[in-house]
Structure 1
Amino acid sequence: MRTHQAAALLATAVAVALTACSPAEITTKPDTKAGTPAVGTSSAAPTPPTQAATVGDTLTLKGNNDGEQLAVTIKKWVDPAQSDNEFMKPDDGKRWVSAQFELVNTGTAVYSDSPSNGTQVADDQGQQFQTTFAETKAGPAMTSAAKVAPGAKVLGWITYEVPKDSKIVKVQFTMNSGFASQTGEWTVK
């Protein structure tokens, strides 16, 4: 009995130690463009932007491994998103919303992942919704097997199925299929 208790205690200690090594972080501060003052600033006194990232803004995110880094931009947002064929539709009482993501590998390692695994949306009540498999009229779907060399990019739409009456206000993206400690968050309308 004591062996099981000791093993459970050791497992808990290891889990706590691993979690403490990489605290979760939500990044909402948009990157600034070179030579352009940050939003809400003048060129005489550059200060960081105070607004949260929105559609069109880029967030630089790090992955779990050395050299993993992406500049992630939500290029467009469609609410509601329409099916591109007559056979696939949202379930009754639901609708689709879609975000077009551009992922630019700004790191030194190859980005290899299924980008949709690490993204979700949230409504104004705090409910969060995962991605769904859907092809929409918004445009081509994001690949499910991205392999992006340093300096290269991947572009595609990711779709979510949400209740018809939910007001979606946030989109989140996390590298490493959602397991990296840094998450980017954009406000949508």
Structure 2
Amino acid sequence: MALALLAPTLLGFAPGGSGETISLTGSEPGARLDVTLTQVVDPATPTGPAGPDGPDRLVATRFRLENTGTAVYRDSPAPATHLLDVDGRRFTGIDLPTTAGPSIPAAVTLDPGATAEGFVTFRIPADAEPAAVQFALDAGLADDVGQWSLPLP
């Protein structure tokens, strides 16, 4: 558990309280986003037949992204987002629509000053207890990592 939760600290971890906006930078010059986790729906219900397999459940997290940098932001937010549980397991976001609301687009392009908003979904074991959500630019590989504690108030 400790290793998974400490990894962001080693990479440039930017902590945030639940629902706070975290400013994150990417590896390219001028790459900067203000990222806000605004809502968590647990459990989430899929909009189609592609629901969780076996004893899994879905958790949907709503993000707002604002390009505050000088470069155009092009990325795929779902795989750049991770959910951590209290046992230190890490789950990668997926593009799976739920009744929680519209999914964030699979590919996002934001000019400076532009915003995007939508849900990123996670498939987790039914007995998992979510502890935090992480987001980073550059398909999740940027050194600057934002983390929000769960549950949201």
1:113 corresponds to which letter in structure 2?
D
* Structure having the higher Rg: 1
What residue number does 1:17 align with? none
Structure with the greater relative contact order (CA < 8 A, sep ≥ 6): 1 or 2? 2
Q: How far is 1:132 from its partner? A: 2.6
Once the two structures are superposed, residues 98-146 of structure 1 have per-residue CA deviations (whole angstroms, 9 ceiling, x without a partner) of 1001000000000001111211101001011112331100011111111
Count of matched residue pairs: 142
Match of 1:70 among 14, 28, 33: 33
| CA–CA separation in structure 1 for the residues paired with 2:95 and 2:137 | 19
Match of 2:111 among 131, 146, 149: 149
Q: Stretches of 4+ moved more than 6 A in 1?
A: none
| CA–CA separation in structure 2 for the residues paired with 1:180 and 1:113 | 12
What residue number does 2:12 align with? 25
Once the two structures are superposed, residues 155-175 of structure 1 have per-residue CA deviations (whole angstroms, 9 ceiling, x without a partner) of 110000000000001000010
Match of 1:58 among 21, 44, 50: 21
1:132 corresponds to which letter in structure 2?
I
- Find the residue that maps to 1:117 and give its secondary structure: helix
TM-score, normalisation: structure 2: 0.90
Q: How far is 1:179 from its partner? A: 1.2
Q: How does 1:1-189 map to 2 (within 5 A)?
A: 24-28=11-15, 30=16, 53-54=17-18, 56-85=19-48, 87-189=49-151
Check conservation: 2:29, 2:71, Cα contact below 8 A: yes
Check conservation: 2:136, 2:142, Cα contact below 8 A: yes
- Find the residue that maps to 1:139 and give its secondary structure: coil
1:146 corresponds to which letter in structure 2?
V
Unaligned ranges ≥5, structure 1: 1-22, 31-52
| CA–CA separation in structure 2 for the residues paired with 1:67 and 1:175 | 12
- Find the residue that maps to 2:105 and give its secondary structure: coil
| CA–CA separation in structure 2 for the residues paired with 1:116 and 1:133 | 6
Check conservation: 2:64, 2:117, Cα contact below 8 A: yes
Instruction: Compare the two structures and name the one with the higher strand fraction.
Output: 2
1:170 corresponds to which letter in structure 2?
A
| CA–CA separation in structure 2 for the residues paired with 1:118 and 1:155 | 15
1:126 corresponds to which letter in structure 2?
G
1:125 corresponds to which letter in structure 2?
D
2:23 corresponds to which letter in structure 1?
T
